[in-house]
Amino acid sequence: MIIALILLLIQIPATLILLSRLLKGPGRRPPVEAKSPTPDQVGVVSVVVPTLNERERLNPCLMGLSQQSYEVREIIVVDSHSTDGTRELVKDAQIKDPRFRLMTDDPLPPDWVGRPWALHQGYLYSCPDSQWILGVDADTQPQPGLVAGLIDIAETSGFDLVSLSPRFILKYPGEWWLQPALLMTLVYRFGPTGITSNPPERVMANGQCFLCRRQVLSQLDGYNSAKGSFCDDVTLARYAASQGFKVGFLDGANVLKVRMYEGAWATWQEWGRSLDLKDASSPGQLWSDVWLLLSTQALPLPVSIAVLVSLSLGISSPVHLPILGLNLGLLVMRWALVGAIARSYDFTPSSSPAAWLFWLSPLADPLAVLRIFLSARQRPKQWRGRIYSG
């Protein structure tokens, strides 16, 4: 009785907050579409790709970037002393497309994380005549018309900084089950993509495809504001929003694909290290997000099972039915959201036959929230092959 009452007091306000975020969905911006550049867009974009031992997954990214049109002035690959043949792959691409430029970043300063340092170096190295800087991760697969579509939406909507959510390519059973549950933690915390009315501290971004006006990046002192962040994309976007710049986070499933990690364990380890976004959040915001996820994403399944078992054993109290109704309602809503995010996944025939596990991903919610909790408790010490002191 007392435990059930406490659960109600914890879950009801969290549910109301969640609903206030999800109800913004109908007003979100439509997905970004591929475009052809206009004559006035010749050479307006410098692309920066940070790499560190990315040979196994870099080729689709290079091919996708080479398919972009004349709006792309240069494609700067900033390599951090790769030893796996990444540099040779870029040199081969350079023979076919002279827009590719390979550079090695300077030694990593002690107060920087590798990725923002590489992006900062690429920005400083880029042609000053480019009006936009586009950061692209090595694990992405840009589709034809991506960059022109990004420029079009940025200019027509007045965005100073805009990033895209991708279409995820999954292969193995564990990925199909766990990764959507991890992604849903972002939806619960920040609402759907395409919402541009969030306050600066709730702004979202994705560094896999991150476009910023050169003039704005110059005013922000490049990536300095995010130099020590393991979620530099969100840190920089929130800093830009706090300075009065217009920031957008849009649905890019039609123009950008990504193959992030190989298997569920790599997804748990690598993505989970930064998914809490603690480097871009205050402690109060971080732990309030953990409370919301625990209340609305992790607890509904076990609480529903526990109450049903209690009722089947003849154990009941006045609060059992309200708490069962609340948690079953949260479960129904959660399964509805599975369908809502389905377009963010690649279900083509070439994808894994284990894709049916995607529809069972709500069963992984308690595990996904546990990952956020574990990550929130400590700062990463290893990232992309580098060791960090603290």
User: CA-CA distance, 80 to 104, in Å (whole number)?
Assistant: 6
Question: Cα-atom radius of gyration of the chain, to the nearest Å?
Answer: 22
pLDDT of 385 > 80? The answer is no
What pLDDT is recorded for position 115? 94
What pLDDT is recorded for position 27? 85
Task: Tell me, yes or no, whether 124 and 267 share the same domain.
Answer: yes
Q: Examine the fold and report which residue of 240, 260, 277 is the final residue of a domain before the chain moves on.
A: 277
Q: How many CB atoms lie within 10 A of CB 358?
A: 21
Task: Tell me, yes or no, whether 37 and 149 share the same domain.
Answer: yes
Task: Tell me, yes or no, whether 52 and 17 share the same domain.
Answer: no
Task: Tell me, yes or no, whether 307 and 235 share the same domain.
Answer: no
181 with 368: CB under 8 angstroms? yes
User: CA-CA distance, 208 to 237, in Å (whole number)?
Assistant: 13
- Residue 387 domain flag: no
- Read off the pLDDT of residues 335-363 as tens digits, 9 standing for 90 and up: 999 999 999 999 987 667 899 999 999 99
Task: Tell me, yes or no, whether 146 and 216 share the same domain.
Answer: yes
User: Residue 247 sits in a domain of what CATH number?
Assistant: 3.90.550.10
Mean pLDDT over the full length of the chain? 93
Dig out the tokens for 262 from the structure.
């190989």
Task: Tell me, yes or no, whether 91 and 221 share the same domain.
Answer: yes
Cα torsion for 324, 185, 172, 250, to the nearest 10°? Answer: 130
What pLDDT is recorded for position 319? 83
340 with 370: CB under 8 angstroms? no
CA-based end-to-end distance of the chain? 44
- Residue 53 domain flag: yes
Task: Tell me, yes or no, whether 338 and 353 share the same domain.
Answer: yes
Q: Examine the fold and report which residue of 277, 307, 332 is the final residue of a domain before the chain moves on.
A: 277
pLDDT of 384 > 70? The answer is no
Phi-psi region of 181 (alpha: psi -120 to 50; beta: other; left: phi over 0): alpha
- Read off the pLDDT of residues 164-207 as tens digits, 9 standing for 90 and up: 999 999 999 999 999 999 999 999 999 999 887 788 999 999 99
Backbone dihedral angles phi then psi of residue 339, each to the nearest 5 degrees: -65, -35
pLDDT of 258 > 60? The answer is yes
Backbone dihedral angles phi then psi of residue 305, each to the nearest 5 degrees: -65, -45
Beta bridge partners of 101: 76
What pLDDT is recorded for position 35? 96
Q: Examine the fold and report which residue of 250, 277, 304 is the final residue of a domain before the chain moves on.
A: 277
Percent share of the chain, pLDDT over 70: 96
- Read off the pLDDT of residues 141-163 as tens digits, 9 standing for 90 and up: 999 999 999 999 999 999 999 99
What pLDDT is recorded for position 218? 97
Task: Tell me, yes or no, whether 146 and 205 share the same domain.
Answer: yes
What pLDDT is recorded for position 350? 65
225 with 232: CB under 8 angstroms? no
Q: Where are the alpha helices (DSSP H) in the chain?
A: 2-22, 55-66, 86-96, 114-125, 146-157, 173-190, 214-219, 232-242, 264-266, 272-274, 283-293, 300-312, 320-340, 365-376
Task: Tell me, yes or no, whether 199 and 136 share the same domain.
Answer: yes
Question: What's the predicted TM-score (pTM) here?
Answer: 0.93
- Residue 390 domain flag: no
Where residue 389 falls among pLDDT bands split at 50, 70, 90? low
What pLDDT is recorded for position 196? 75
Beta bridge partners of 247: 161
- Read off the pLDDT of residues 29-41 as tens digits, 9 standing for 90 and up: 999 999 999 999 9
- Residue 315 domain flag: yes
pLDDT of 386 > 70? The answer is no
- Read off the pLDDT of residues 278-337 as tens digits, 9 standing for 90 and up: 889 999 999 999 999 999 999 999 999 999 998 888 887 888 889 999 999 999 999 999
Task: Tell me, yes or no, whether 111 and 142 share the same domain.
Answer: yes
pLDDT of 7 > 60? The answer is yes
The whole domain housing 235 covers 32-176+192-277
Task: Tell me, yes or no, whether 14 and 37 share the same domain.
Answer: no
Dig out the tokens for 85 from the structure.
């043949």
Report angle CA 253, 254, 255 to the nearest 5 degrees: 95
Burial code (b: 16+ CB inside 10 Å, e: under 16) for 170-190 equals: bbbbbbbbbbbbbbbbbbbbb
Instruction: Name the DSSP letter for residue 358.
Output: G
